Structure 1
Amino acid sequence: MTSLRHVFAGLAICLLAMTATHPVAAQGDDKAQEAVQKIELENAQNRISEWDDALGDLEKTIARDEVTNRFISDGRDKIETIQLGVNTLHDRADERLKRFKAALGKLGEPPAEGQEEVPAVARERERIGQDIARVTGVIKQLELVDFRATELSDQLAALARERFTRRILGRVDVPLDPGVWLTAWGEIVRLPSMVQARYANLELEGQAADELAEIAPGLVLLSFIVIAALIGGEVLVLRYMPARWKAVPSEDRVALISGTRFLFTAMVPGIALLVAYGILDSREDLLNGAMGDFIHQCFAAALFLLFVGAAIRSVHSPFSPTLRRAGTTPRGARIVGVSSLVVALIFAWDMVLLQGATTLGTSLDIALVQSISNVLIISVLLFVSSLGVFWVHDEKDRHEFWPKLERRSRRGLKAVAILMPVLMALGYVALARFILENLMMGLAFLTCYWLLRGYSRALMHTYLVRPEPAEDSKTTDAVHGTLYFWLRVLIDVVMVTIAVPVAVMIFTDIAWVDLILAVQQAFVGIQVGGIHFSLKSILLAALMFVIVLGAMRFFQRMLSTRVLPNTKLDQGLQHSVSAIFGYAGICLAVLLAISAAGMDLSNLAIIAGAISVGIGFGMQSIVNNFVSGLILLVERPIKVGDWIVVGADQGFVKDIRVRATEIETFDRSSVVIPNSELISNRVLNWTLKERSGRGIIKIGVSYGADVDKVREILLEMADKRREILSYPAPQVVFMDFGASSLDFELRYFLRDIGDVMAVASSIRFELVQRFRDEGIEIPFPQRDLNLRDIDKLTEAIRDAGRGQTRPRPETPQVEDKQAPQSDDVDGHGADQQATPPSAAKDISRDQDASSRGIPDAGGDPDADAPR
């Protein structure tokens, strides 16, 4: 968290510094930009003429029908360069024109007819008008050049699509004569000797020799870098592994090792190869004609083999299966890895042989036999690699995303491996090759992306999320998990942003200039009514919101942890100040983000009107709770830490949020109460003004106890408690003469009302023991019962035991000394009283026994009958 604070603080300081230095820097940039624009516009005519000549040459070549595949590729590259230059110069001219028009507007309206103008102003107006006319002419010429370039680009694209379709969907007769195959393979074997015989006596002279001599040292150096990276990458990774990597989890360790191998054995030599090809391609006399195409294809094959070979070694690790990243078995890692390496070698060799045969002008049978043979071999190897016997089948992870994707990918690979031989048997050899090429390029691209993504995550997890050893870490796993999650999201966003344009360029026919124009259009945006939408403004608004909100959160945390605790404000007021500062920070961040997005703040009135309609329909409770929360923070009828009672719930206030307030009860459960209820209903707050409060202990003693002694003991118990205030002094109140006891109350005031339960319980424990020592009885409720006519009841029970039926006995009266007795109750009234349940049950039981002739249990007639 400390590092995050430093980051937010640095961003805030940078933002303030940029804001403070903006006027001075803007003035300097404006002057420099104006000078650059002036120079570019002065040279605009020359550049426009060059572009017109280049476009004219392309048009003549297309008209003569001398279009080759290399010409289409080079022509589109030239057109892309021209369009980029035209767009840049057009933007400069537009900015220049806006400046001239703004300067002309400052001169005011031209004078009316018959009026004269100040000579200096007239001359300045005339000069600015000439500049506007010149810049407007340049803009028109640039628009014309852009139109011609677009037309030529469309023609070349149409030619490329037509040739591509004709080549891909073209059907050939597959040679079935074995002699043709033997002859073709014999010529393929002799291709190296044919190249040597043709180019053995080749001597570079003149400009080509001079250019090759100039770039030879650089090419040698780059070749040395490629060899050193290929050899040293494996040694560095396998022998000099950092000690820290051995302590990380196995998944991160394998990702680090495979990613480092890929970087050293693919990225470094691949960049060196690209630089070498760029140096050769920059010399026009070195890569001309068919030989130039052959060298280009050799570089492409070498680059493909370099990346795919490194990716296969890093993913499958066939010679060290413990370092594999794919879900293969140890045996499958060797078989799948070696098969993939063989496929990459055959594919690269096929690219070189096919271009070499085209360069040497060999027969079509050679290219056909070579394509069919290589595609068949590759199909068999791909089918073997996709067999499930070489892959791990874990039932526990069977339904997770990556295992399901791996199974479906292997099924798709099997289908493609079966489809390509079928297409070749039908004669669609070019279509099979096209599918194979795109499949190989797609697998290589996805593998490289997956390796670099895992490598970036492992590096971040090892060196950023847990920079210290686990046993010394004071940060919780939850914080590490949250930080790891957001860093992974950042890595995915960055890598997808980079990978998508690269994939579009590789797998589609979209020109680089078209992609740049699309991105520019997305950043520039579109106009919808009076609102301008653009990706640039949206990203700027989001960045502004994050920076301002992060800075305000940082200052809020500083305020609540360092500034407010050192003041004399109570805890609730500190929370209110911190919460209001947080709400103000959110509002400021939203307003700045809206302003950065280019929206007029005056339009907020319309938005407020729309929101008010929403409030009227369905947001009353939300707004009511929000306003109630603001009232709670301002008026502060309750504060954080208060002990409140709301209906049947009571506890301490833990947090006052926008919509609701959280209360922690005494059993540590949380009760969330909407703020509107705290405003509209009755709330008992024990600690609103101060923490002190009154406690009461009720106690009853027997009627025979010494009341003075009781009073003395109770006051003594209260006086010796440190939590009880001496002023107001504790007092003992004789409340009443109870039914069973003399009732007293011990009343006292506590320093902190939160101690009321603990103090009362402690005093009660001591009172029980003290009363026992003093002989003071604490009575329990007593009740005296008086039974009248007990003799009649006894005689009735005795007769029932003898089996004699007697008239219904009079029910004995129960006299409660505490209940008032009526004077008009006589014997007749006693007979009408309800029989007690127990007596009625005994009489009924005896009657049933006598009617069934049950013998008497006792022999003595005077003895008690069984009840």
Structure 2
Amino acid sequence: MTQMLRFALGLTALLVWLTGAAVAQEPVLPDFDQWETVASSAEEAVDAPDTTETMLEVQRARLVDYRAEFDAARNLNAARISALREQLAALGTPPEGEGAEPESPEVAANREELNRQLNTLLTPVQRAEAAYLRADALIGQIDVALRERQTEQLMEVVPTPLNPVHWRSAIDDLATAAGEIAAEAPDDADTARRSLRSSLPAVLALTILGLVLIFRGHHWSTAIVGRLQQFGARGFGIWRFVVSLLRIILPTVGLVLLAMAVLATDWFGPRGSTLVQLIPVIGGAMLGVRWIAERVFSRDEDEALILLPAAERKAVRFYVSIITVTVIIGAIITAIFDGQQPAETTEAVLRLPVMLLSAFALFRIGKILRGYSDPVTEDVSAAEEPRTSTLNRVVRGLGLGAMIVAVVAPLLLISGYYNAAVSLLPPYVTTLVLLGLVMTLQRFLADVYGAMTGQGVQARDALMPVFFGLILLLLSLPVMALAWGARVTDLTELWALFSRGFAFGETRIRPTDFLSFAVIFVIGYAVTRLIQGALRSNVLPKTRMDIGGQNAIVSGIGYVGIFLAALLAITGAGIDLSALAYVAGALSVGIGFGLQNVVSNFVSGIILLIERPISEGDWIEVGGQMGYVRDISVRSTRIETFDRTDVIVPNADLISGTVTNYTRGNTVGRLIVPVGVAYGTDTKRIEGILQEIAEAQPIVLTNPPPAVLFLNFGADALEFEVRCYLRDVNWMMKVKNDINHAIAARFKEEGIEIPFAQRDLWLRNPETLQPATSASVEDSSDKLEPQA
């Protein structure tokens, strides 16, 4: 069987094991006598130097089955054992020491009976625990032995394939193997002809249909894409991806039909039929690799996942084609020698030119990837600090790795390390293919997400595609491990270790506990949000409660619901909260020192929600900031100022500081408008005019009525004030603006002067400002003339 088939079978076995491991089983008591026989046999197999790998694998599989039974048996009667221990704890400790009052006979008899039942239940559990540890240790020993043998095989040295002496033997072995395959053909030619004549219509039909699909499948898929683009199909990127799969499916189906046509002739024996059956598998793999290269290094720059220059993308696709051809040749060589015993240098000699060609193509690809530069990085101006994206670093790193592998693998093969060379270059190529597949599927899921959310192409830069890519990368890790030589048992052992979880105090936390926690918490959170939505939209609006009280109730239910959801999730996951006592103690110390402000704001937020001195929508002033309360959270309150800026105020400042609430309880508020008139104006007349103006405003309350006060004899004017109460204080500036306009217009009509500041200037010596006479000026000029 070829390495590709082994890889596929190993992956299938891993998936089957994972599926079976997910099925819950009731714990049963194992057969300990039979287990002793199995354990002794496994110990002898591990110690024996002539034990084959197949025998070790068989022993390991039996040990894994028993270990699973023992693991389940460790929890046998767990509920009953816990109940007995609680009953014993309720009885308390028996009296000890001299002079202690003896325990009553009834209590002593009850304690003895409970201990007897507990020991009876614990005996099989303890035996299962000991057997589990023994099985786990034996499995570990077998894994170590298998890994050591695998390492020895990698370091095994064969004669160098460069020696011409081995070329003749390699060609002879290849001819012998091919001759044996050809010799399996039927000896009776007449019978073969009659068989062919009877199946000729089916053979011709399969051949024609297969050739049509192979040679026309690419054209048909391209035509479908063009037709969808012509009709403007919605989600065109998704359709183009789906239709592009036809470039793999149609030719692969054609290869399958050709293989069926060849097998229908009955001209090949068992090994020849195996080779024919291998052709569609190899062809499909080759088409798949080519398809991934077409997606990652697409001809269309908008669809290319790694945006290189067009010439370099074309070169990469060409080198990928070379590598796929070399993979096909290597798979055929391996299939020809399957079940044969050629010389130890035969496969090394035959694979040397293939590996050199593959290494050359891989080196060229690595060199191109090494020079990759992210377009985002190139657009950074010289004044900005250059940034290197994660994709840039990964692509360059993969390019450097490809260049190193392309150089090291042929050197190992030339040096005689055939197994090491074969275990290095093909796995690296497989890794590159898998990473390309992850990128391709991530782009497809991003397009699907964009079509569902209506974001379109912009969704490719969203956060969700990053999570899609992370999940796809995690799913590809087991496949990469198998490609690099990991055994299925290694992955199953790693999964078993992960499934057992880790101990936290006396509590063991497993991945299923995290899953249970997440599911229960999400359900509780969703129910809380549904209740909040129902209260906010249907229940509370039908009450007489103000909007602030409604928001307080909705917020309080949200906090309580999230707390209960977390509590139920912890309980449902089986996490013992007593194990968190030390953590809680450490947190209390941290709260006492570093988190006291956070706790103070949290408690203040709870007080704000309960007492409601301020509510959402209130107009408040705190700390010199004035605006509307938009959101009250457990730590801070967000205030939107009149400048449309948000001010985040800690809740502790709202509780301990001075807060002015202009709309607490109601929106009624007082407005004061100062007015000044010139001296000599009739003050009673001014009072009447201002009273009429204030009463004419529709938003001014008539009860209490507006008042006009003559306050002072100012330095420049007679000072009045219009004081009135507004129905809605939020309109204070608008009403003040209207009153001022009305006062200006009315005073203009009545001829009333609105004075401005005036000052009289008195000079103590005004004569000093008089202009000088001409005589005095001439005298002064004579005095300034220079002496002869």
- TM-score, structure 2 normalization: 0.74
User: Which of 723, 737, 762 is equivalent to 1:747?
Assistant: 723
Paired position in structure 1 for 2:421: 432
Paired position in structure 2 for 1:441: 430
Q: Which whole-Å CA distance do the structure 1 matches of 2:675 and 2:49 have between them? A: 119
Contact 1:733 1:744 in 2 (8 A): yes
Q: Which whole-Å CA distance do the structure 2 matches of 1:757 and 1:33 have between them? A: 71
Paired position in structure 1 for 2:7: none
Contact 1:51 1:82 in 2 (8 A): no
Q: Which whole-Å CA distance do the structure 2 matches of 1:355 and 1:581 have between them? A: 68
Q: Which whole-Å CA distance do the structure 1 matches of 2:649 and 2:319 have between them? A: 66
C-alpha distance 53-675 of structure 1, shift in aligned 2 (>3 A): closer
TM-fit CA distance, 1:578: 1.9
User: Which of 450, 454, 464 is equivalent to 1:466?
Assistant: 454
Contact 1:317 1:333 in 2 (8 A): no
Q: Give the unaligned 5+ runs of structure 1.
A: 1-31, 110-114, 203-221, 277-289, 471-476, 806-845, 855-867
Paired position in structure 2 for 1:534: 510
C-alpha distance 584-239 of structure 1, shift in aligned 2 (>3 A): same
Q: Which range moved further: 514-523 or 751-760?
A: 514-523
C-alpha distance 413-246 of structure 1, shift in aligned 2 (>3 A): farther
Paired position in structure 2 for 1:314: 292
Paired position in structure 1 for 2:661: 685
**Mapped pair 1:170 → 2:157:** yes
1:468-867 equivalent positions in 2, closer than 5 A: 485=463, 487-488=464-465, 490-512=467-489, 515-601=491-577, 609-787=585-763, 790=766, 792-793=767-768, 798=772, 802-803=776-777, 851-853=783-785
Q: Which whole-Å CA distance do the structure 1 matches of 2:134 and 2:562 have between them? A: 49
TM-fit CA distance, 1:774: 1.4
Q: Which whole-Å CA distance do the structure 1 matches of 2:552 and 2:129 have between them? A: 62
TM-fit CA distance, 1:723: 0.9
User: Which of 338, 359, 380 is equivalent to 2:360?
Assistant: 380
Q: Which whole-Å CA distance do the structure 2 matches of 1:81 and 1:558 have between them? A: 56
1:498-538 deviation per Cα after TM superposition (whole angstroms, max 9, x unaligned) = 333343344343443x5434434433334343343333323
Paired position in structure 2 for 1:341: 321
User: Which of 342, 345, 350 is equivalent to 2:330?
Assistant: 350
Letter of the structure 2 residue corresponding to residue 583 of structure 1? Y
Paired position in structure 2 for 1:820: none
C-alpha distance 709-674 of structure 1, shift in aligned 2 (>3 A): same
1:7-406 equivalent positions in 2, closer than 5 A: 65=50, 67=52, 72-73=53-54, 75-91=55-71, 93-94=73-74, 136=124, 151=138, 154=141, 158=145, 161-162=148-149, 164-166=151-153, 168-177=155-164, 181=167, 184-185=170-171, 188=174, 191-198=177-184, 200=186, 237-241=221-225, 243=228, 255=241, 258=244, 303=281, 306-316=284-294, 321-322=299-300, 325-357=305-337, 359-388=339-368, 396-397=376-377, 399-406=388-395
RMSD of Structure 2 on Structure 1 (CA): 5.1
1:603-656 deviation per Cα after TM superposition (whole angstroms, max 9, x unaligned) = 677655443322321222222222222222222222222222224221222222
Contact 2:513 2:574 in 1 (8 A): yes
Letter of the structure 1 residue corresponding to residue 660 of structure 2? L
Classify the secondary structure of the residue corresponding to 1:698: strand
Letter of the structure 2 residue corresponding to residue 579 of structure 1? S
Q: Which whole-Å CA distance do the structure 2 matches of 1:758 and 1:439 have between them? A: 74
Contact 1:524 1:536 in 2 (8 A): no
Q: Which whole-Å CA distance do the structure 2 matches of 1:720 and 1:515 have between them? A: 86
Give the total of aligned pairs: 704
Paired position in structure 2 for 1:411: 400
Contact 2:507 2:579 in 1 (8 A): no
1:660-690 deviation per Cα after TM superposition (whole angstroms, max 9, x unaligned) = 2222222212222222222222222211232
C-alpha distance 351-567 of structure 1, shift in aligned 2 (>3 A): same
C-alpha distance 801-174 of structure 1, shift in aligned 2 (>3 A): farther
TM-fit CA distance, 1:175: 4.3
Classify the secondary structure of the residue corresponding to 1:359: coil
1:448-459 equivalent positions in 2, closer than 5 A: 448-459=437-448
TM-fit CA distance, 1:377: 2.0
Contact 2:668 2:726 in 1 (8 A): yes
Contact 1:76 1:153 in 2 (8 A): no
Q: Which range moved further: 406-415 or 696-705?
A: 406-415
Q: Which whole-Å CA distance do the structure 2 matches of 1:605 and 1:66 have between them? A: 52
Q: Which whole-Å CA distance do the structure 2 matches of 1:684 and 1:690 have between them? A: 14
Classify the secondary structure of the residue corresponding to 1:172: coil
1:159-201 deviation per Cα after TM superposition (whole angstroms, max 9, x unaligned) = 6633652453414134443x75366446535643331115656
C-alpha distance 547-259 of structure 1, shift in aligned 2 (>3 A): farther
TM-fit CA distance, 1:721: 1.2
C-alpha distance 732-565 of structure 1, shift in aligned 2 (>3 A): same
Contact 1:663 1:671 in 2 (8 A): yes
C-alpha distance 346-750 of structure 1, shift in aligned 2 (>3 A): same
C-alpha distance 621-201 of structure 1, shift in aligned 2 (>3 A): same
Letter of the structure 2 residue corresponding to residue 659 of structure 1? R
Contact 1:525 1:535 in 2 (8 A): yes
Classify the secondary structure of the residue corresponding to 1:316: helix
Classify the secondary structure of the residue corresponding to 1:440: helix
Letter of the structure 1 residue corresponding to residue 362 of structure 2? L
1:31-86 deviation per Cα after TM superposition (whole angstroms, max 9, x unaligned) = x999x77xx76xx66x986995899699689969474xxxx24x355335423432
Q: Which range moved further: 494-503 or 630-639?
A: 494-503
Q: Which whole-Å CA distance do the structure 2 matches of 1:561 and 1:391 have between them? A: 58
Q: Which whole-Å CA distance do the structure 2 matches of 1:246 and 1:198 have between them? A: 56
Letter of the structure 1 residue corresponding to residue 182 of structure 2? Q
Q: Which whole-Å CA distance do the structure 2 matches of 1:356 and 1:697 have between them? A: 104
Q: Which whole-Å CA distance do the structure 2 matches of 1:663 and 1:106 have between them? A: 55
Paired position in structure 1 for 2:17: none
C-alpha distance 450-507 of structure 1, shift in aligned 2 (>3 A): same
Q: Which whole-Å CA distance do the structure 1 matches of 2:46 and 2:576 have between them? A: 53
Q: Which whole-Å CA distance do the structure 2 matches of 1:194 and 1:576 have between them? A: 87
Percent identity over the alignment is 26
Q: Which range moved further: 584-593 or 686-695?
A: 584-593
1:227-261 deviation per Cα after TM superposition (whole angstroms, max 9, x unaligned) = 99989985775444594995568876665555675
Q: Which range moved further: 50-59 or 353-362?
A: 50-59
Contact 2:514 2:573 in 1 (8 A): yes
TM-fit CA distance, 1:802: 0.8
Letter of the structure 1 residue corresponding to residue 553 of structure 2? V
TM-fit CA distance, 1:730: 1.5
Classify the secondary structure of the residue corresponding to 2:630: strand
Contact 2:329 2:354 in 1 (8 A): no
1:324-368 deviation per Cα after TM superposition (whole angstroms, max 9, x unaligned) = 655455454454334323322322332332453363444445323
C-alpha distance 642-232 of structure 1, shift in aligned 2 (>3 A): farther
Q: Which whole-Å CA distance do the structure 1 matches of 2:24 and 2:391 have between them? A: 52
1:392-414 deviation per Cα after TM superposition (whole angstroms, max 9, x unaligned) = 76655454332443233233322
TM-fit CA distance, 1:727: 1.3
Contact 2:154 2:417 in 1 (8 A): no
Q: Which whole-Å CA distance do the structure 2 matches of 1:588 and 1:491 have between them? A: 31
